[in-house]
Amino acid sequence: MAIKFRCPHCQQFLGISQNKAGMVTDCPTCGRTIRVPGEDGTVAPLPRPKLDLSDNQLVAALDALATIDRPAPVDPPRPAQAPTDVDPLPSPGPAITPDPLPNVEDAQDFIGINPRDVLRTLGEITHVTDTPKIITPETGLRFGPAVLLFACVLSVGCGILIGAGAFRNLATMPAAKPASIPKHAPQPPAVKAPMEGAIGQIAGSVTYADSGGSSRPDRGARVLLLPMVRRGTAKLGGSGFRVGADEVDRRLLEATAEVLGGAFGIADEQGKFDIPAQAAGRYGLLVASRYQSRPADEPVSEAARKFLELYFDRPDQLIGNVQYEFREITVDANPAGPREFHFPLR
């Protein structure tokens, strides 16, 4: 007959063979070290922990810790190299200074000259009379002083008129506007594909039988729902499925199950659960008890093992030494009633 007792750490109800009475073992639920009660019900205190020097992993860990505070090796300074003589740089050539640009203020002097005064002066010069000279082939072509003066004044006047008009056009020309830099057109925000809505809820309750035979809510029972057809190939760890798992590990399992098309939940104080099913199809529903244990040598059923091998790297260690129930269910648009799970006392 098995020895029935509860773990002093997690209050898990355990059943162990009488051959292990008074022995030290680990709780299958929380992993803490406990001592099995004797046949008379007494529990001897646990022995003080000892250092196992033959543990290779412990020795390697201690060596790694011992090297943490050691200073990093410093390379010795290298000898300084002797300076190398180099040829002097050639002297730069004379600097070339560009001619200054014309000043706009100087142009105002030319603009201020009235072109009509220049034309009037040219008209007066044309009325000056001079003695005509006869040009013969023997004497050659000769120019009088009046003609030379007229040519000089005419060339100077034309130059002034042309320059004044050019500077006037330059002064009245509107300033060019700086070219505007085209802005990049705003990119539309990335639109996420909407997640497929849940087709329904998988609800139910989990109970267990206590030592007196009464049915109690299995508070903290784990409920896992995943499709029977696996998407992807990456294997998952089972740390978030165990009792007393860290909050981060539990949320990671919830998010991973949702990505894979399923869900993960924990029964509440009344032992009830309610998890969503994202789409219609065949699902595997695994419910593991929080309080009811099973023999350590009892293997996992073939159907549950094949289902867990699709998603987890260690399916045999995922459930632990607790009672469980695996069902293959069909989810469609027609809602199903609550599903009941009960774990008896063995």
Q: How far is the C-alpha of 276 from the C-alpha of 163, rounded, in Å?
A: 90
Pairing of strands 24-26, 222-227: unpaired
Cα separation of 335 and 26, whole Å? 43
Confidence of residue 53 (pLDDT cuts 50, 70, 90): low
**How would residue 71 be classed by pLDDT, with cut points 50, 70 and 90?**
low
- Determine which of 82-91, 127-136, 228-237 has the lowest per-residue pLDDT on average: 127-136
In this structure, the strands spanning 322-331 and 272-277 are unpaired
Contact criterion met (CB below 8 Å) for 260 and 231: yes
Give me the phi and psi of 86, to 5 degrees please. -125, 155
pLDDT confidence tier of residue 338, bands split at 50, 70 and 90: confident
Going by DSSP bridges, is the β-strand pair 215-217/272-277 parallel, antiparallel, or unpaired?
A: unpaired
In the chain, domain spans: 1-40, 200-343
Say yes or no to pLDDT of 132 above 60: no
What is the spatial distance between Cα 312 and Cα 318, in angstroms, rounded to a whole number?
8
Question: Looking at the predicted structure, is the pLDDT value of residue 8 above 90?
Answer: no
**pLDDT value of residue 182:** 45
Q: What is the DSSP code (8-state) at residue 110?
A: H
Question: What mean pLDDT comes out for the span 139-154?
Answer: 64
Q: b/e string for 244-273 if b means 16 or more Cβ within 10 A?
A: ebeeeebebbbebbeebbbbbbbbeeebeb
**pLDDT tens for each residue of 262-302:** 999 999 999 999 998 888 889 999 999 999 888 888 888 99
Model pTM score: 0.44
- The predicted-structure confidence for 156-198, as pLDDT tens digits, reads as follows 777 776 766 655 655 555 555 544 544 444 443 333 333 455 6
Q: Rounded to an integer, what distance in angstroms lies between the CA atom of residue 104 and that of residue 7?
A: 101
Q: How confident is the model at residue 147 (pLDDT cuts 50, 70, 90)?
A: low
Instruction: Identify any residues that bridge with 15 across adjacent strands, giving them in sequence order.
Output: 4
* pLDDT of the residue at 185: 43
* CATH 2.60.40.10 for domain 200-343: yes
